[in-house]
Amino acid sequence: MTDAAPECTTRQGAVRGSTEHGVAAFLGVPYAAAPFGPRRFAAPAPAEPWTGVRDATGYGPTAPKAPYAPPFDALIPDTSMPGEECLNLNIWTPEPGPGAGLPVMVWLHGGAFSNGSANSSGYRGHTFARDGVVFVGVNYRLGTDGFLHLPGAPDNRGLLDQIAALTWVRDNIEAFGGDPDRVTVFGESAGGVAIGQLLAEPGARGLFRRAVLQSGACHHFVRPDTARRIGERFARQLGVAHTAEAFAAVPLPELIEGQAQLRADFARRPDPAEWGEAALNGMVFEPVAEELRLPGPELGVDLLAGSNQEENRLYMVPAGRFDTISERRLQRGAEAFGADLDGYRAARPGASPGELLDALVTDWFWRIPAVRLAESVPGTYLYEFAWRSPQFDGGLGACHALELGFVFDLLDDPDYVPMAGERAPRDLARTVHAAWVAFAETGDPGWPAYDPAGDRTTMVFDADACRPEPDPRATERKLWEGVR
C-alpha cells in the first residue's frame, strides 16, 4: 500500500479513507439514508448518491441512545456521536480495490439493543485487516428507533438496518478487496441475538456464508402482544399516543431521557405479568417474533457459537450483589427460569447462593441457547471462554463481554482494560483471534464440530491451555432438557 490516501468507489460514489496500522480505513460510510424526518421509524431506504469524493477519514454519527447506567458505564465504554446519518459502517482492509477476493467479517455490536456502536475504539478492525480480512463494523438503530413496537411502523427496524448493511456489503465490498461470497457476520450479546434472528429471516438469506454468535443466540425475543404492551406503557409514560407519528413528534432529548427512565423502571425486578417474557430476558428492547425459530440442517450457513463460563457475574459483582444473594433470591430465580436447583446443588457442592445463581442464569441465558443452536444445525462449532479476569479481586471471573478484547486482539485498548485488567494473556488473545480469522477464511476454526450424537466437542479457551473438551458440564446441560 502506498502512503497516498486510499480511495474506493461504491455504488453511491467514491470515498477517500486513511491509512492506519499499515491498512486502509474507511469510516462513516453510509449504507442507508438518514432515518429521520419522513423516514423516521420506517424501513431503511438506500443511501443517497453523492458527487465527487466523500471524506471517510472520521467516524459518522451513532444511533440515538441513553448512556449505560453505573457501574456499567465504567466497564463498557460507549461512544456517542450526534447526527442524523447514523446508518453507516466502518471498513478496514489490507488491499483496497477490486480483485483481492479476501474474506469479509461484518461486526454487529452488543448493548442490549439499547447501547453500543461500531465506533468504539475496541471495535477497530485493523487487527483483522492485518491478518488478511476485510472488516466491516455496522451502526444500526437502537432502543425506541430500532426495536420499540409502534403501530404504523415495521417491527425490528434495527434488524432491517442490519440486513440493509449486509446488502450494501454484498453490492460494494468487492471494491474494498472483499469477496461478497465469503462474508461472515459476527456479533456479541445483542449482536449475537440479532444474528440468531437473521438466520431465520428470509430477507437475510444469501447475504452471508458464515456466522459467529458470541454470548447470544436465537432464544431471546418478545412476542407481539408483549411488544405492544411495552410500547403502550412507554406511550403512557411520555403522555403521547402509541403511534409512530406521535413518537416522531417527541423531541429527541425527551425521548432519550424517557427511554432511560423506562429501562430504570424495568430494572426494578420487573414483574412478568406486566413485562411478559422481557422480564426474564432482561431487556426492554428486543426483536419481535411470534415464536422461537431455530434453524435446521438445511440452513446452509457455517456456524460458530459459544459463551463465557461465568457470564452473569458482570451483572452481579460490580454492583456488589454477588455476595449478598440470599437463599430466597436464589430460589425465586430458579423458579422463574424453570431451573432444577437441586440438580445444580448436587453438581456444585459447597457453592454459595451467588455462585449457584450465576451458574444457572449463565446457562439459561447464554450457554444453553448456544448448545441448542449447535444441536439444531449439524457441523456447528462450539466454544466456551473460561479465562477469569483478575478485576474486582478476581470476582469478575469469565464474565459477559470479557472475550471481546481477545477476539479483536486488542487487549491494550482502553475499552478493555477496566474489565480484563492490564496483564491479560496476550497469547490467549492471539489464539482466539486466529480461530475467528480461520473460521472466516475456511469455515473451520481448528477443532472438531459439535456432534450431539457423539462427544459434543467444545473448545475451551483458557490461559493455561486451549483444549477441545467433550461436553463440558454435561450434568448441568442435562438439567435443561425440556426447558425453553
Dihedral over Cα of 325, 331, 336, 340: its sign = positive
3-state secondary structure of 152: coil
Supply 295's cell numbers: 434453524
Q: Which residues are identified as catalytic?
A: 189, 311, 400
In contact, 397 and 462? CB cutoff 8 Å: no
Amino acid at 145: D
Pairing verdict, β 18-20 and 23-30:
antiparallel
Pairing mode, strands 381-385 and 457-461: parallel
How far is the C-alpha of 262 from the C-alpha of 230, rounded, in Å?
9
92 bridge partner residues: 25, 135
Sign of torsion over alpha carbons 29, 31, 35, 38 = positive
- Using omega within 30 degrees of 0 as the cis cutoff, is the peptide bond preceding 272 cis? no
Q: In this structure, which amino acid lies at residue 319?
A: A
Q: Is 242:231 a contact under the CB 8 Å cutoff?
A: yes
Per-position b or e across 115-142, b if 16+ CB within 10 A of its CB: bbbbbbebbbbbbbbbbbbbbbbbbbbb
